[in-house]
Amino acid sequence: MLSLSGFGSDNDVPFGVVAFGGCALQTRSVTFEEHPELAEYDPSDRPLRGRRRTIATRVFVVVALTALLLPGIMLTISIQTDTANYTCDVYARHYQPDAVSSSARFELFAPAGPGWQCYALNTEGDPTFVAPLGLIPSAPHALP
């Protein structure tokens, strides 16, 4: 008999029985007689799948994830590029009326911070900074 204290009583509890929050749970070991399918199980150090199958599975997963994610990424980049070019064109016509054209570029290290930057181009093609468009360009709005 094993005496457990701290559970609200000092009753003797038989070995193998665990008192848990007022409930008694019986623990016992599993024998091969109860589960004959385990009697001939011999664990080996050999992996369940071969090296070729593991590599093939990994390649398949990478290709499948790429096929799922790449179209969405490409569509997002395309929409952002079109929006930035349109917004930059509107800003360049409004804030630099003498500009010949405009150019929207994504720059990580720009004076206004990372994101899309709008430049107006003169007749020689020299860029003049017009406005920052941010990481996600939006429709044109009045600038401060």
Q: What is the pLDDT of residues 47-68, one digit of tens each?
A: 778 889 999 999 999 999 999 9
Strand pairing report for 17-20 and 23-26: antiparallel
Q: Are residues 62 and 103 in the same domain?
A: yes
Task: Assess if residue 22 is contained within a domain.
Answer: yes
What is the spatial distance between Cα 38 and Cα 102, in angstroms, rounded to a whole number? Answer: 75
What is the structure's pLDDT at 31?
Answer: 67
What is the structure's pLDDT at 125?
Answer: 82
Task: Assess if residue 127 is contained within a domain.
Answer: yes
Q: Does pLDDT of 12 surpass 70?
A: no
Report the phi/psi class of residue 21: left, alpha or beta, with left for phi > 0 and alpha for psi in -120 to 50: left
- Write down the pTM of the prediction: 0.60
Determine which of 24-28, 54-58, 72-76 has the lowest per-residue pLDDT on average: 24-28
Cβ atoms within 10 A of the Cβ of 25, count? 10
* pLDDT tens-digit readout, 84-110: 999 999 999 999 999 999 999 999 998
Q: Are residues 55 and 79 in the same domain?
A: yes
Structure-block tokens of residue 30: 């599993």
Task: Assess if residue 43 is contained within a domain.
Answer: no
Task: Assess if residue 126 is contained within a domain.
Answer: yes
Range of the domain at 103: 51-134
Q: What percent of the chain has pLDDT over 90?
A: 49
